[in-house]
Amino acid sequence: MNQGSIPVTILSGNLGAGKTTTLNHLLRESDDMDIAVLVNDMGEINIDAELLQGGTELVADEGVAELSNGCICCELQDDLRTEVTRLAREWEFDTLVVESSGISEPAPIARLFTTESRVAARYDVDTTVTVVSARQFDEFFADGAPVERTETEDGDTRPLSDLVIEQIEFCDVLLLNKCDLVDADRLDEIEATLRALQPRAELIRTEHGRVSPDRILDRGLFDLGDVTDSAGWKRAMDHADHDEHGTHAHDVHDHSDHRHPQEAYGISSVSYRSPRPLHPARLHDFFESLPNGIVRAKGTFWVAGRDDVKLEYGQAGAAARVEVAGPWIASLPEIDQDLYRSNRSATYWDEEWGDRRTQLVFIGSDVDEAAITAALDDCVLTDAEMDEDWDTFDNPFPEDEGGLLIVGE
């Protein structure tokens, strides 16, 4: 932490998880610490700020500093810069807590404090905290749960489970709240799932948002690189990378015997890799028929007939989508390929196909690794199909930047 800088705790979580209750508890229990609070709400009236009035001595316009009717991870970033700079200029306090709205992504907020000089000069992110409601968990991730959607800052809608996953995957501390409303066995299963989704974070069970301030304030846990790379799917893919001893057409998936403690509760991950393209129609059928137990899936893939673009699959709960993630390096002019590879010596590269390949991770309860692996093996082009005109295949996948295919909803 920079000498003399103010530590920042970023408090995230979906609507109803218990962020404001948690923050109120912190204010009541932190008598020896002066805490400034900035609250973001998507409504014109900032209800959270109203609920926190009187909980802190540091006031802005006779109350908690508030940013309303917008999201601080996107269109209110300028306002956030202005407000936190003003707070540091006009008040003396020990720490700042930023409570984001229920539809805010924590990563852009954290980056504001780490990369924007005017703010970063006065503050350092200390800890990122995500509050998850045990009672709401099944609404997002249980088998057969409907896909609830939320409106984003640009007027579009996205699955709420996507946002909840992003909040879980980007944090130093996970508060599993409202534990009194769920039975003990189910709590163990939820905790196991959370540990699979975010194995790095410290997980704390709470009721009514009651957590000791010293568990989430002034911890010094945040590291942008660590938290960015700590999602369970990324770690599963990295583990598969370390275990890989060469690949060929019939040995394209990971058969690691490595087990995690959460597997005792039926939570496991499957990593799959293929150097050959996948058949678009068979792959689409595979995505449409994934079992309900999949909580999270992520990765990029090479589908025959879309040889210039890298496609990305993302699933959170029942919501799944395929997007264009950018070009394959091998599709760029040779001079650009050489420049890219010279700056990134570890880039995977096949002499014939370049960086094109498939890498997918699936995390869930009672995941049948053999069945998923066999189904994806069936999607790989056969020797005969490798010699066919791939453009003649029925292909539902997007081919242009910004393209989107919704699957499995």
Residue owning tokens 């994934």: 290
Instruction: State residue 178 phi and psi, 5-degree precision.
Output: 60, 35
Q: Which residues contact 110 (CB under 8 A, 6 or more apart)?
A: 10, 125, 128, 170, 222, 224, 227
The domain spans of the chain are: 6-228, 232-407
pLDDT per residue of the chain (409 residues) written in tens, 0 to 9? 555 689 999 999 988 899 989 988 988 888 788 888 888 653 333 334 443 444 444 433 333 444 333 333 434 456 777 778 888 787 788 888 988 877 778 888 888 888 766 777 888 999 999 999 999 988 887 765 556 666 655 556 777 888 899 999 999 999 999 999 999 999 999 999 999 999 999 999 999 999 999 999 999 999 988 888 888 888 887 776 655 533 333 334 443 333 444 555 778 889 999 999 999 999 999 999 998 889 999 999 999 999 999 999 999 888 899 999 999 999 999 999 999 999 988 899 999 999 999 999 999 888 899 999 999 999 999 999 999 999 999 999 999 988 899 986 6
Q: Which residues make beta-bridge pairs with 174?
A: 130, 203
Q: What is the rounded distance in angstroms from the CA atom of residue 328 to the CA atom of residue 325?
A: 9
Give the ranges where 91-248 is alpha helix by DSSP (H).
106-115, 117-120, 137-141, 160-169, 184-197, 224-228, 232-243
pTM, entire model: 0.79
Domain at 232-407: CATH code: 3.30.1220.10
Instruction: State residue 4 phi and psi, 5-degree precision.
Output: 80, 0
The alpha carbon of residue 229 and the mean position of all alpha carbons in its chain are separated, in whole angstroms, by 10
Superfamily of domain 6-228: P-loop containing nucleotide triphosphate hydrolases (3.40.50.300)
Q: Which residues make beta-bridge pairs with 173?
A: 129, 202
